[in-house]
A and B are shown apart, each in its own frame.
Chain A
């Protein structure tokens, strides 16, 4: 973790998720002159502009041209710089997808993408500015590390960890107004290791990104009804913490995944892959956008409508508890 971060919990309360990452990135940039920041006319919206204010000589705005920006970042990385690129998730992951794949992943370039406004966090902007496909697409590229931090603190930790590792990284966050999950920066964060936020034995909710907070709320409400819910914050989609998934299957036998993303190809699919490969049976449900684009709405309303908030998760917990997934308690007949 970067040293000498000077802001405090009090500052965090008044900073949005995006502002915190902007601040952390600036501080990392001040300590490491190889770090450069790039944006595509979204310096203010993505808060990478904070870096631009403090370190203008290492800040580049490429205008509304994402494909060029990604390839330029690749070229800069060839010369030994560490480019951090920020734009909206839909443009980073789809408009510039071939450039991410061919110029960053195939060529193993040390570029970090911070994709903001992911999922339906941009609510009333509508589908052209939503992104429910990015986890799926980015996962498919060999060599890409894919992270969906749960809150501002995790975003700061993720940005820091991403810059410390070698290779391309894709970090997707919301719009930046989501409430915090953690109380401070003081928690264990390691790329590829799920964080167990609640212990439990009846069912496991594996959540990522902005839905983690809702998963925790659902678990706490379920506990009051006598249901023991394990909550895993799976911030890293790739590499997935397969061990945590298999342990959850063995211990609880009921898995629900939640993501501000399509149910095709993202966290749910990655977890399903792991469950299937383990050869162990369990009940399984995926929460996300069920192969549909959302309506226009405030993001908190959308999470509720599409059952990604605590109410939706709790309802799904109830459904999964009623499911029969195998005849007996005998594990010997599993693969």
Chain B
């Protein structure tokens, strides 16, 4: 269980970096801010408590791997990588600009700390599976974490990877679903229903943990259960809110990709600062 001090550290870090995401969104004209907010606590927990990585050695062979299969969440990922020291945070001023190392979807070849280039949905879980198998093949003991969006679970390749992960008992792979219940065109359940999601993954041979994706205690307990699990790959279905933390953005498909002017930025920051 988290100590009060640990929990406060994670919550403070989450709040601080939410503000940074808003600032970059304001300065670069637009980002996938809705999804960056829903995935946020999952990434904060991983990067600030669990990932065995070294910002001075981004390709260290025995490092833990992180795959943001929902690659459009890259703005949220980049802000964390900068804060961890993989690169100078000032570089984020160029986010999405011509010639910038940062496009909407982070490229491992231009952004230190990124393991694989994602963006096309449905690729991340197979890529993560490959890195997990590669580590095991070579007797390395690192863990691979993969955060997917819920919408991307409509892609068949995700289920191919799910079958294979179970077949090969890939227990050094832990996946998450940022279940914010929206994709671009609207609610997932109206467009191409995913429920019952937990039963689907159970049927594919995974151990399924369902949590509140914004509760650090639940996130951490789930991650530690996943790390200890020795029989099945683990998927953590995180119930989240698109746009979480910014009251006028929450639960709306329209904030999937958007910009904010100075007034909206200020309102967004005010809303975030009210978070616990």
- Whether the pair A107, B108 counts as a contact (CB closer than 8 A) is yes
Q: Is B134 an interface residue (CB 8 A)?
A: yes
- Whether the pair A76, B133 counts as a contact (CB closer than 8 A) is yes
Contact residues, B107-163 vs A (CB, 8 A): 108-109, 115-117, 120, 122-123, 126-135, 137-138, 140, 156-157, 160-161, 163
Q: Is B196 an interface residue (CB 8 A)?
A: no
The stretch from A78-86, A159-167, A181-189, A194-202 touching chain B is A78-86
Besides the known contacts A79-B131, A102-B120, 6 further A-B residue pairs in the complex with CB atoms under 8 A apart: A36-B137, A62-B164, A70-B126, A71-B161, A75-B132, A79-B138
- Whether the pair B164, A79 counts as a contact (CB closer than 8 A) is no
8 closest pairs, A vs B, by CB?
Answer: A75-B130, A79-B134, A71-B126, A68-B160, A72-B130, A65-B160, A76-B134, A75-B131
- Whether the pair A68, B134 counts as a contact (CB closer than 8 A) is no
Q: Is B99 an interface residue (CB 8 A)?
A: no
A284→B249 CA distance, assembly (Å): 62
Interface size on B, residues (CB 8 A): 30
A70→B61 CA distance, assembly (Å): 21
- Flag A51-94 by CB within 8 Å of B: 1 or 0 each: 00000001010110101101111111111110000000000000
Contacts of A74 in B (CB 8 A): 116, 127, 130
Q: Is A103 an interface residue (CB 8 A)?
A: yes
Q: Is A106 an interface residue (CB 8 A)?
A: yes
Contacts of A78 in B (CB 8 A): 115-116, 127, 130-131, 134
Contacts of B131 in A (CB 8 A): 75-76, 78-79
Q: Is A108 an interface residue (CB 8 A)?
A: yes
Pick from B120, B134, B167 the residue with the most CB of A within 10 Å: B134
- Flag A134-178 by CB within 8 Å of B: 1 or 0 each: 000000000000000000000000000000000000000000000
- Whether the pair B160, A81 counts as a contact (CB closer than 8 A) is no
Q: A75 and B164 in contact (CB under 8 A), knowing A80-B61, A81-B137? A: no
A-B contact pairs, 16 of them (CB 8 A): A36-B137, A65-B163, A68-B161, A68-B164, A71-B126, A71-B129, A75-B126, A75-B127, A75-B130, A76-B134, A78-B115, A78-B131, A79-B130, A79-B134, A79-B140, A107-B109
Q: Is A99 an interface residue (CB 8 A)?
A: yes
- Whether the pair A107, B117 counts as a contact (CB closer than 8 A) is yes
Contacts of B137 in A (CB 8 A): 36, 58, 76, 79, 81
Interchain nearest-CB distance for A143 vs B (Å): 11
Q: Is A98 an interface residue (CB 8 A)?
A: yes
Instruction: Report how many A-B pairs have Cβ atoms within 8 Å.
Output: 97
Contacts of A79 in B (CB 8 A): 61, 130-131, 134-135, 137-138, 140
- Whether the pair A73, B130 counts as a contact (CB closer than 8 A) is yes
Contacts of A65 in B (CB 8 A): 157, 160, 163-164
Interchain nearest-CB distance for A106 vs B (Å): 7
Q: A60 and B138 in contact (CB under 8 A), knowing A71-B123, A75-B128, A79-B61? A: no
Contacts of B132 in A (CB 8 A): 75
Q: Which of A63, A72, A106 lies in contact with B126, CB distance below 8 A? A: A72
Q: A75 and B138 in contact (CB under 8 A), knowing A102-B120, A103-B123? A: no
Closest to B158 in A: A68
A3→B134 CA distance, assembly (Å): 26
Contacts of A98 in B (CB 8 A): 120
Contacts of B161 in A (CB 8 A): 68, 71-72
Interchain nearest-CB distance for A300 vs B (Å): 36
- Whether the pair B156, A67 counts as a contact (CB closer than 8 A) is yes
A233→B167 CA distance, assembly (Å): 43
- Whether the pair B138, A63 counts as a contact (CB closer than 8 A) is no
Closest to A72 in B: B130
A80→B130 CA distance, assembly (Å): 11
- Whether the pair B135, A103 counts as a contact (CB closer than 8 A) is no
- Flag B164-199 by CB within 8 Å of A: 1 or 0 each: 100110000000000000000000000000000000
- Whether the pair B117, A75 counts as a contact (CB closer than 8 A) is no
Contacts of A72 in B (CB 8 A): 126-127, 129-130, 133, 161, 164
Closest to B61 in A: A80
A76→B164 CA distance, assembly (Å): 14
